[in-house]
Amino acid sequence: MFTVDGVTWSIPCKVTRTAKIQGSEISGLLLDNSYFNDVQGTYMEYELAIGATRHQMGQYYQLYEILTQPVDGHSFVFPYNGDTITMTARVEEITDEYHDLGALGNYWYNAAFRIIANHPSKEMTLEAVITRGLSPLPEVQSVAEGTIMQLTNGEWVELTLTDADEVEY
Check whether residue 62 and residue 142 sit in a common domain: no
pLDDT higher than 80, residue 165:
no
pLDDT digits (tens, 9 = 90+) for 21-65: 998 898 888 888 888 888 889 999 999 999 887 788 889 999 999
Check whether residue 75 and residue 28 sit in a common domain: yes
Check whether residue 107 and residue 85 sit in a common domain: yes
Q: Residue 158's closest CA among 135, 136, 167, 146?
A: 146
Q: Are 94 and 30 in contact (CB under 8 A)?
A: no
* Maximum Cα–Cα distance across the chain: 93
Check whether residue 159 and residue 83 sit in a common domain: no
Q: How many whole angstroms separate alpha carbon 164 and alpha carbon 169?
A: 10
pLDDT digits (tens, 9 = 90+) for 87-121: 999 999 999 999 888 888 888 889 999 999 999 99
Query: Which domain does 141 fall in, by range?
Result: 135-166
pTM (two decimals):
0.70
- Greater model confidence, 135 or 160: 160
Structurally, the chain folds into a number of domains equal to 2
Q: What is the DSSP letter of 138?
A: P
